[in-house]
Amino acid sequence: MTGSASIDPTHALGIAAVVLAAGKGTRMRSNLPKVLHPLLAEPMINQVLRTLREAGVPPERTVVVVGHEAELVRAQVAKCGLYLTVEQKEQLGTGHAVRQASSLLEQMEKEKLGSAEQVLVLYGDGPLLRSETLLNLFTHHSATSPLVTMLTAEAHDPTGYGRIIRNPANGNFQAIVEEGDLTSEERAIREWNPGIYLFRAKWLWPSLSRLQKNPQKGEYYLTDMPAFAVEDQLPGEPLPVQTLLVSGEEVLGINDRVQLAEAGNLLRRRILEKWMLSGVTITDPTTTYISPTTILEPDCIIEPNSHLRGACRVGRNSVIGPNSILVEAQVGAACKILASMIEHAVLEDEVTVGPFSHVRPGAYLEKGVHLGNFAEVNRSRLGAGTKQGHFSYIGDATFGSNVNIGAGTVTANFDGINKNKTIVGANTKLGVDTMLVAPVKVGEDVITGAGAVVTRDVESGATVVGVPAKPLNKNS
Ligand code: UD1
Ligand code: CA
């Protein structure tokens, strides 16, 4: 391999990708297509598509071959970007699957999206592959100019996988033989085929028509292609097949739910190590779950039993957990989230939540907001320094800064038909068990008495008490 790190091989080579995802995944024993099974809280195909993007292969140069439950898979792929998809109506094998992508990739050339000169083939059920490995594959391919460069791996027991047959004289690649076609001698070979190849397009497309159905399985095997490349070698030309050995862990394919859990753990560990090395403390990696799209700033601490799902962000010096669940949450610096759930919400710096509170979608907590126990905030904004210490529900509301929300305060925001708004001004003190019957507007510096049921707007500076709440008569 040459040290050509300075060039961007993806663009220089004109790489397009074909992701095979048409198979049923019988061994998952599931109604859900295999590539949609969740891995760290997202469908596993998301991870494969992300790895491709990280390696410089964008959605518009990636064809996903769908088949089993095609529409479900298509819909998920569309959520990840403007991907090309093609349906393989009958699953006639990996070679047949790749052929389905040919017209789309030729079309690409015509539409001047940049021609697809090299075609990367990989699987939708192999989520552990790293983008660095793909970049190594691209660099190796561009440096050696073969017809195909493929990854290989070694295992003590590669039962079930295609084996790599090499020329005993010089070690050069000769062929891939599938499990069902192995001789007893070949069965002892430890080098196996992970199914990830980079083909020269000009050679690939015409050569695919040479594939014959495997007599045993009745499928067109893509694995026959590298041997054709060996046959096509011309004297004086570079070696037609290059191989790149990678760790077996990285090319673990998911066939059943045991492997799904195993892959989930490996991927999880990889993500946790990345964050620990970048300055995040993870107290107990065995009980911490962080999605690939979450971003953590240095000096945060993630305490045991915490789950950060989707694209969360946590700022410096914040402490998450123990026992917290964040879903698509934006958390600022120096926040503390103890045994609580935050979903689709934004927390500015120095916000403290918990134990046992629930910040729901559309909540926005400004700097220094404090939620104590059993506080629920839904589609509401709380101003800086506002405190909601004890069992309380705030929904569809806008609160100013430094409001004190007494224990048991509830916004009665739903009249059975509509969700109505509550507005509360800065520095207001809501007494315990205040009921805010929306729509209602409470001014600044207001005081409500314990048990007040506020049904009408309250002017700034007023004190209201009773059911329904009325201003205290200063003369009485
Ligand atoms: C394949 C390889 C084998 C390799 C193994 C690695 C072939 C013939 N064999 O075997 O050498 O060691 O992968 O995991 O390629 N797919 C389609 N359409 C089809 C058939 C398959 O899209 O018609 C997809 C599947 O969804 C799957 C992938 O291709 O993601 C691999 O297919 P699978 O049937 O699992 O191949 P293996 O028997 O595992
Ligand atoms: Ca497989």
Q: Which residue, judged by its Cα, is nearest atom 26 of ligand 1?
A: 23
Are 3-251 and 280-471 equal in CATH topology?
A: no
> Is the CB of 96 inside a 6 Å radius of any atom of ligand 1?
yes
> Is the CB of 20 inside a 6 Å radius of any atom of ligand 1?
yes
The one-letter code for the residue type at 102 is S
The one-letter code for the residue type at 234 is L
Ligand of minimum distance to the alpha carbon of 126: 1
The answer to whether the bond into 355 is cis (omega within 30° of 0) is yes
Best probe residue, ligand 1, of 94, 148, 161, 256 (max atoms within 8 Å of C-beta): 94
CA of 196 to the centre of ligand 2 (A): 12
- What is the pLDDT, as a whole number, of residue 12? 61
At 143, the pLDDT band (50, 70, 90 cuts) reads: very high
At 3, the pLDDT band (50, 70, 90 cuts) reads: very low
In the beta sheet, which residues pair with residue 353?
Answer: 337, 371
Class of domain 3-251: alpha beta
Tell me which residue of 279, 16, 251, 308 sits closest to 125, measured CA to CA.
251
Q: In CATH, which superfamily holds the domain spanning 280-471? A: Hexapeptide repeat proteins (2.160.10.10)
Instruction: Determine how many CB atoms are found less than 10 A away from the CB of residue 295.
Output: 14
Please report, for the chain, the start and end positions of each structural domain, with discontinuous segments joined by +. 3-251, 280-471
Please check whether residue 361 is in contact with residue 345, taking contact to mean a CB–CB distance below 8 angstroms: yes
DSSP, collapsed to helix, strand or coil, labels residue 141 as helix
- What is the pLDDT, as a whole number, of residue 405? 98
Instruction: Copy the structure tokens of residue 240.
Output: 């037609």
| Known catalytic residue at 390 | yes
Q: How do residues 200-215 score in pLDDT, each as one tens digit?
A: 999 999 999 999 999 9
Long-range residue pairs from 257-265, CB within 8 A, at least 24 positions apart, any chain: 257/28, 257/29, 257/37, 260/28, 260/37, 260/39, 260/44, 263/39, 263/44, 263/127, 263/128, 264/39, 264/40
Please check whether residue 208 is in contact with residue 94, taking contact to mean a CB–CB distance below 8 angstroms: no
Please state whether beta strands 197-200 and 148-154 pair in parallel, antiparallel, or not at all (unpaired).
antiparallel
Q: How do residues 31-89 score in pLDDT, each as one tens digit?
A: 999 999 999 999 999 999 999 999 999 999 999 999 999 999 999 999 999 999 999 99
Instruction: Copy the structure tokens of residue 132.
Output: 């660095």
- Check: pTM over 0.75? Answer yes or no: yes
**Residue 461 CB partners (closer than 8 Å, separation 6+):** 443, 444, 445, 446
DSSP symbols for 222-280: GGGHHHHHHHTPPTTSPPSEEEEE--GGGGPPP-SHHHHHHHHHHHHHHHHHHHHHTT-
Report which ligand 1 atom has the smallest distance to the Cα of 67. 22
> Is the CB of 430 inside a 6 Å radius of any atom of ligand 1?
no
CB under 5 Å of ion ligand 2: residues: 253
Q: How do residues 386-413 score in pLDDT, each as one tens digit?
A: 999 999 999 999 999 999 999 999 999 9
Ligand of minimum distance to the alpha carbon of 20: 1
Tell me which residue of 58, 91, 56 sits closest to 73, measured CA to CA.
91
Long-range residue pairs from 437-445, CB within 8 A, at least 24 positions apart, any chain: 437/412, 438/396, 438/397, 438/411, 438/412, 438/413, 444/400
> Is the CB of 251 inside a 6 Å radius of any atom of ligand 1?
no
- What is the pLDDT, as a whole number, of residue 112? 65
DSSP letter assigned to residue 99: H
